[in-house]
Amino acid sequence: MKEKVKVCEVGPRDGLQMAHDIMPTELKSRWIAAMAQAGVTEIEVGSFVPAKLVPQMADTDAIVRSALEQPGLRVMALVPNLRGAQAAYAAGAHGVGVPVSVSEGHSRSNTRKGTAEQVEEVARIVEWVRAQERPMAIEPGCATAFGCAIDGEIALDKVVRTAVALAEAGVDAVALADTVGYGNPAQVRALVRAVRSEIGGKLTKLHLHDTMGLGLANALAGLEEGIRSFDSALAGLGGCPFAPGASGNIVTDDLVFMLESMGFDTGIDLDRLIASRELLHEGVPNEPMFGQVSRAGIPKTYRVQA
């Protein structure tokens, strides 16, 4: 059997939060459904943040409830604090991501808290969720782990300390995030090894951006180090409103092509996934759509691996 790799689509959150247009709720729900029906099993559908700060996310409660209707879909949401986690829980989300920036400058810009304060916020979320009747996964990401547009270089040992603090807070999983896309493959290998040596299997995922054109190369480096879960965005949309210069995520369609061509099993129908780009373009017609596979077409040699 092929080894499985999970591709988590973050376009409805990370992609749309930077869009100039606001995608209508009904169309957003149809787009999410189309990706789920193409075989995407995990989607970060929105974020529970103040609408005045990120108006594109104002309908996240309705989007979570709609996405829950898709059979087999793990519905995730991003939350910055306990209040957001409580809103996600009330809407029925299966899990939440929580940004914990290793960079002090980015942390205060993004959450108005320092790194240690945000770790404490995660601990409060864990305590509250564990007291509820229904489980909800808590999967924070170490943001700006590979560099920051505000603070510059981030020391490896600070990333490790942040990941350890999150693991000790009782979270279900930890991700490493290249929030501004400054990382390189050697850095990915070194950081994955260092963090895993301290928290083991709680390190599960990489969240990568393609600012410097190294997104897929970094994904491959992570793959070679044993990472089997990656965030990506259809058509490469995305960025961070609180990180100057951050560009889009790695392209979901291109990532799926690479993984499946190498013999991994994503469970995603690439033809149907690419077709879902039409709904995305309809919803945000002024956003550039990236992706090599969608431009060139799926080659006849695709999926030749046993």
Can you point out the beta strands (E) in the chain? 6-9, 42-47, 74-78, 95-97, 99-101, 137-138, 141-143, 174-178, 203-208, 229-232
240 is catalytic: yes
Closest CA to 241 of 2, 44, 50: 50
Bridge partners of residue 100, in order along the sequence: 142
Residue 124: other Cβ atoms inside 10 A: 13
Long-range pairs for 73-76: beta carbons < 8 A, 24 or more residues apart: 73/36, 73/40, 73/41, 73/42, 73/43, 74/41, 74/42, 74/43, 75/43, 75/45, 76/8, 76/42, 76/43, 76/44, 76/45, 76/139
Q: Which of 133, 113, 136, 116 is nearest to 125 (CA)?
A: 136
> Which structure tokens are listed for 200?
């083991």
Give the integer Cα–Cα distance in Å for 11 and 248. Answer: 10
- Residue 129: CB atoms within 10 A of its CB come to 23
Phi/psi at 140 (5° precision): -70, 160
103 three-state secondary structure:
coil
Residues noted as catalytic: 240
